[in-house]
Amino acid sequence: MPKHASSHASTAPLDPASYPTWGALRWLLLIRLLLVVGLTLVFSPNAVDPLLARADTELAWSALLVYTLLVLLSGLSLYGQWPARKQQVYLAILVDIVVFTLLMHAAGGVASGLGILLTVTVAAGALTMEGRLTLLFAALATIAVIAQQGYQAIQGQAPAFTQAGLLGILFFAVALISQMLYHRARTAEALAARRQVDLDDLSKLNEFIIQNMATGILVADGERRLRLMNQATRELLGIAHDRHAPGVALGAVSTALAAELERLVQPGAHRQAVVSHHGRALRVSVKLLGAHRASGVILYLRDDREATAEAQRIKLAALGTLTASIAHNIRNPLSAISHAAELCAEAPGLAGDEQQLLAIVHRNSARIDEIVSSVLELSRRDRMQRQTLELYDWLRGFVDEFTESRQLGPRRLHLHLERDPGTVVADPRHLHQILANLCENALVHGGDGPVTLVLDRDHHTRRPLLEVIDQGPGIAPEVADAIFDPFFTTRHSGTGLGLYIARELAESNAMTLALLPNRPSGCRFRLLFATTTDEDRAD
């Protein structure tokens, strides 16, 4: 958008160099041609004006002939645009003053009334040129009239200096009025130009905003013909940029969309629907531009999967806030219960049943505390601190630390490198928790067999991947789809949040966590890391 042009146009003063325009010179030429025709009729032999009966026709026709030639010559100069515009106006005004003064003298002086032609010349010059020159034109016309009257007095004719003076006053009055009209016209023209620039800039801004909106915008008229379609709509509908110009029928763009639109605009119909276009589900919202069909409609298009995912993110964010608040309020009384149980356990002379009851309190308090810690960690999943990690080196450190902290035997957890994936971008704390949860599950459900971390690259996308494989009995097919649901567990002592939190943290880092079939037994969880594009989208 031309911001600089807009601001400059709105603050720049009127430029005198731009006046007079070639259009104004053409109007001046037209006026002079009309004056030539009118004066020819006035001095024709059939004229009946008694004031012109005693006119010096020889002088008048000579002046008219020269004037006609000069006007035609000015037309050629205007066509060739030489000399410059101001010089052409100067010459035209001077020629008119001289010729009209001669014609007035030929007709008998001021009493003939032809002196009014000088008023037209003064006004034309004032409206064509800069305002400061209007008084100069008036002064030249006044001097010419007074000089003509002085010449009459020298010739022995009765001069009319009073009428000449009044005519001079009229010249200056016309010059001043023309000057005001000149400035008002210039101001109005400059204002119109600024408004046009602002409108053009606003139109470009609106077009830029619409074309760069993530939501698809499609406008159709009453005949259901395309009027506007932004880039997001083209991407959603799979349309090339050079196809379907404005005016094309909506049915040619999308048959399903056109058919659904007719249903959505019916009175009482819900203005939203999901339309299938080339196997892609699109969520369509309709906005009527008026009460009548001829007013047209606006269609808002979104990928239904993205809309559903966004709604899910909003719901999870609200749920995370709620659960975090509940977890904080649970932790305080839970700490009091645990502390009270510890004090009771220290009391002397407790019976075996009492000790067993206190052990139940301890055990379940610890389980609740684990659930609260998991919920709080989940509510903080958006507080990421991403870093660039050398994945293989980082995993070697993780395996050493996990093996030592769990006091695992040799070869119980080992890292196998298929292909070096290089670097990845992720939050190391989140990645550590994801792998800790997966490895804990593998150790618990995998029996005494080894747990293997396989580092590789995806064959199709070339994205880095990490697989956690155990040799246990595996997961039954009937519960495989539910293992990532919150609080789903196959153990009485489990919280059911480990895999759910792992998947949520993976998605927060633009990674994908999935359960894959493993042959002949065991479980295989695959963590697919993000590419640069995926990381940008996640941000």
What is the per-residue pLDDT across 14-29, written as a single tens digit (0 to 9) for each? Answer: 455 566 888 888 988 9
Statement: residue 494 has pLDDT above 70: no
Statement: residue 217 has pLDDT above 50: yes
- pLDDT more than 70, % of the chain: 86
More confident residue, 360 or 95: 95
What pLDDT does residue 47 have? 60
Q: pTM (2 decimals)?
A: 0.42
Statement: residue 253 has pLDDT above 60: yes
Cβ-Cβ contacts under 8 Å for 343 (sequence gap 6 or more): none
Cβ atoms < 10 Å from Cβ of 377: 18
What pLDDT does residue 91 have? 92
Instruction: Name which of 151, 332, 324, 304 is nearest 236 in CA terms.
Output: 304
Per DSSP, the three-state class of 242 is coil
Q: How confident is the model at residue 182 (pLDDT cuts 50, 70, 90)?
A: confident
What pLDDT does residue 144 have? 92
Q: How confident is the model at residue 130 (pLDDT cuts 50, 70, 90)?
A: low
Q: Are 121 and 137 in contact (CB under 8 A)?
A: yes
Q: How confident is the model at residue 437 (pLDDT cuts 50, 70, 90)?
A: confident
Statement: residue 73 has pLDDT above 90: yes
Per DSSP, the three-state class of 421 is coil
What pLDDT does residue 466 have? 93
Average pLDDT of the chain is: 81
What is the tens place of the pLDDT at every residue in 108-125? Answer: 888 888 888 899 988 888
Determine the Cα–Cα distance for residues 420 and 174; give it in Å rounded to an integer: 92
Is residue 486 reached through a cis peptide bond, with omega within 30 degrees of 0 on the bond before it?
no
Q: How confident is the model at residue 131 (pLDDT cuts 50, 70, 90)?
A: low
Q: What are phi and psi of 248, to 5 degrees?
A: -75, 145
Tokens of 158: 């009765």
What pLDDT does residue 196 have? 87
Cβ atoms < 10 Å from Cβ of 331: 16
What pLDDT does residue 54 have? 63
Per-residue pLDDT, averaged over 152-165, amounts to: 85
What pLDDT does residue 158 have? 80
What pLDDT does residue 10 have? 39
What is the tens place of the pLDDT at every residue in 346-360? Answer: 777 777 777 888 888
More confident residue, 281 or 332: 281
What pLDDT does residue 356 have? 81
What pLDDT does residue 128 have? 81
Per-residue pLDDT, averaged over 419-428, amounts to: 86
Tokens of 325: 């608040």
- Choose from 53-62, 192-201, 463-472 the range with maximum mean pLDDT: 463-472
- Choose from 145-154, 374-383, 493-502 the range with maximum mean pLDDT: 145-154
Tokens of 242: 């050079």
Q: What are phi and psi of 428, to 5 degrees?
A: -60, -30
Q: How confident is the model at residue 467 (pLDDT cuts 50, 70, 90)?
A: very high
Q: Are 227 and 246 in contact (CB under 8 A)?
A: yes
Encode burial over 78-116: b for 16+ CB neighbours within 10 A, e otherwise. Answer: beeeeeebbebbbebbebbbbbbbbbbbbbbbbebebbe
User: Cα separations (Å) of 336 from 98, 329, 333, 361?
Assistant: 113, 12, 5, 12
What pLDDT does residue 65 have? 93
Determine the Cα–Cα distance for residues 453 and 503; give it in Å rounded to an integer: 17
What pLDDT does residue 298 have? 92
What pLDDT does residue 536 have? 44
More confident residue, 314 or 272: 272
Q: Are 412 and 403 in contact (CB under 8 A)?
A: yes
Task: Report the side by side order of strands in the sheet with 524-528.
Answer: 413-417, 451-457, 464-469, 524-528, 512-516
Q: Are 107 and 114 in contact (CB under 8 A)?
A: yes
What is the distance, to the nearest Å, from the Cα of residue 141 to the centroid of all Cα atoms in its chain?
59
Statement: residue 537 has pLDDT above 60: no
In this structure, of 2-16, 314-328, 400-414, 494-508, the range with the lowest mean pLDDT score is: 2-16
Query: In 155-226, which ranges are continuous DSSP H helix?
Result: 161-211
Per-residue pLDDT, averaged over 149-154, amounts to: 88
Instruction: Name which of 493, 492, 512 is nearest 502 in CA terms.
Output: 512
Tokens of 530: 């993000």
What pLDDT does residue 197 have? 86
Size of the chain in residues: 539
Element (H, E) at 509: none
Tokens of 54: 């005693």
Tell me 12's DSSP state. Answer: P
What pLDDT does residue 5 have? 41
Per DSSP, the three-state class of 45 is coil
Cβ-Cβ contacts under 8 Å for 46 (sequence gap 6 or more): none
Q: How confident is the model at residue 313 (pLDDT cuts 50, 70, 90)?
A: low
Per-residue pLDDT, averaged over 158-168, amounts to: 86
Per-residue pLDDT, averaged over 137-161, amounts to: 88
What pLDDT does residue 453 have? 93
What is the tens place of the pLDDT at every residue in 360-389? Answer: 888 778 777 776 776 666 665 556 678 899
Instruction: Name which of 238, 239, 236, 246 is nearest 215 in CA terms.
Output: 236
